[in-house]
């Protein structure tokens, strides 16, 4: 592929926004793709993949480049992908022999070779042990596959696969345990397709699709999704409830709830009521009113680094410690919304025990007379090939 200078200059500017201005890679990519409508599909793919891969491998690339120089870093990445570099001054001294030599040098340092900060390497080893940590990190560096969830109100998994096949997007079922999960055989922009616009499916990782069924929800129930965000799990609940009953989707960010309303309309869901959490009274008023409560709490995102590689460079050990306090506060205060005899699911997209089973252990130690731990699940990309997720099912004693 011929590399054009104007495209490289746009890549460099975009990377500066990510690393110097602390912007998120996906937002930077979206804005640039909108700003360049004349780019062909090859240029768009090349631009997006370059940004994501440089963000993912930044520490290793910087080591191999021998300098914190965006041009050299990008040049190293393209050589690693097998592209021939143009004979530009900025790429002087970079060739395949140089790359092979530097890769060998990097191999002796796990954190450099796997492009993670030293603090994260130490933190992960402390939490998971050397053996498990060294298994999971390489898997967190592989780009994630695209999973869809068939919206049961509009389509089966087979109907979604057929509809996508008709527009030359190949997809397949995932597992009998995940009856609505569909996996794309190659990455495609499904958001512009008619099946998506008709509400036949949502984009949702397979691990995330395992969380809502743990609630054991049924049509007619009153269910609370207390950290709903843009509502992927609320929509999953609605489909399993056959759009009968009531779902109260809460969040501290109103713009996320507005996005949920748009998605709900597209999916044919009308049992969701959104509520902004703007004071503790919102939670207190709901005391013992819900048959089921989902707490998909804010977390480090250490289980989804393959989707959000920026996290490696934006997260800090101090932030994880802050999240521990917030998670426990949410669990202990929001659990009161569950009726006696009802079920609560505590979930994160983290692989760290301190955010997961340790929080649940502490909760049961302090509230065990009122609550029973029913089961816990963990998923990891090196085992199931899904995102790193945790969920604990807790039953409120009658």
Residues contacting residue 356 through CB under 8 Å, at least 6 positions apart: 348, 350, 376, 378, 390, 392
From 227, 299, 335, 349, active-site residue: 349
Q: How far apart are CA 237 and CA 243, in angstroms?
A: 9
Cβ proximity of 277 and 300 under 8 Å: no
Cα dihedral: 176, 215, 227, 144 (round 10): -20
Q: Closest by alpha carbon to 257, among 282, 281, 288, 285?
A: 282
Give the tokens for residue 8: 């490289």
Residue 267 · residue 288 · CB < 8 Å: no
Give the whole-angstrom CA distance, residue 340 versus residue 171. Answer: 43
| 378's tokens | 């963990």
Q: Would you say 359 and 328 are in contact if contact means Cβ atoms under 8 Å apart?
A: yes
Which residues neighbour 357 within 8 Å (Cβ) at sequence distance 6 or greater? 376, 390, 392
Helix (H, G, I), strand (E, B), or coil: what is residue 90?
Answer: helix
Among 17, 55, 53, which residue's Cα sits nearest to residue 35? 17
What is the crossing angle of helices 25-35 and 5-19, to 10°? Answer: 150
In this structure, are residues 85 and 75 in contact, taking their beta carbons and an 8 Å threshold?
Answer: yes
Q: What is the rounded distance in angstroms from the CA atom of residue 196 to the CA atom of residue 267?
A: 9
Give the chain's count of helices (H) and strands (E). Answer: 18, 11
3-class secondary structure, 14: helix
Kindly give, in sequence order, each residue whose CB lies less than 8 Å from that of residue 120, ignoring residues fewer than 6 positions away. Answer: 111, 312, 315
Q: Is 349 a catalytic residue?
A: yes
| Residues classed as catalytic | 349
């Amino acid at each position: 592929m011929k590399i054009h200078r104007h495209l490289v200059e746009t890549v460099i500017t975009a990377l500066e926004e990510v690393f110097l201005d602390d912007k998120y890679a996906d937002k930077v990519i979206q804005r640039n793709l909108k700003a360049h409508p004349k780019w062909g599909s090859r240029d768009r793919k090349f631009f997006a993949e370059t940004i994501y891969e440089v963000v993912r491998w930044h520490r290793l690339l910087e080591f191999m480049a021998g300098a914190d120089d965006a041009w050299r870093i990008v040049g190293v990445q393209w050589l690693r992908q097998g592209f021939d570099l143009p004979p530009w001054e900025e790429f002087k001294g970079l060739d395949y022999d140089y790359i092979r030599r530097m890769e060998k040098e990097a191999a002796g340092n796990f954190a450099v070779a796997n492009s993670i900060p030293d603090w994260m390497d130490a933190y992960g080893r402390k939490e998971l042990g050397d053996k498990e940590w060294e298994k999971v990190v390489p898997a967190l560096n592989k780009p994630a596959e695209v999973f869809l969830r068939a919206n049961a109100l509009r389509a089966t998994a087979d109907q979604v696969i057929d509809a996508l096949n008709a527009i030359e997007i190949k997809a397949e079922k995932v597992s009998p345990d995940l009856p609505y999960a569909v996996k794309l055989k190659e990455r495609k922009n499904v958001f512009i397709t008619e099946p998506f616009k008709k509400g036949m499916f949502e984009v949702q990782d397979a691990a995330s699709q395992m969380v809502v069924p743990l609630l054991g929800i049924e049509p007619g129930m009153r269910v609370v999704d207390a950290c709903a965000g843009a509502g992927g799990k609320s929509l999953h609940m609605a489909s399993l409830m056959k759009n009968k009953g009531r779902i109260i989707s809460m969040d501290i960010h109103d713009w996320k709830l507005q996005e949920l309303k748009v998605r709900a309309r597209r999916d044919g869901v009308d049992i969701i009521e959104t509520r902004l959490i703007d004071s503790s009274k919102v939670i207190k008023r709901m005391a013992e009113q819900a048959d089921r409560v989902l707490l998909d709490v804010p977390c480090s995102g250490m289980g989804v680094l393959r989707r959000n590689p920026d996290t490696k460079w934006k997260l800090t050990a101090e932030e994880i410690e802050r999240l521990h306090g917030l998670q426990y506060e949410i669990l202990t205060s929001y659990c009161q919304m569950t009726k006696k005899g009802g079920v609560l699911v505590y979930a994160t997209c983290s692989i760290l025990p301190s955010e997961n089973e340790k929080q649940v252990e502490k909760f049961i130690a302090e509230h065990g007379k009122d609550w029973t731990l029913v089961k816990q699940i963990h998923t990891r990309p090196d085992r199931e090939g899904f995102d790193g997720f945790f969920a604990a099912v807790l039953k409120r004693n009658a």
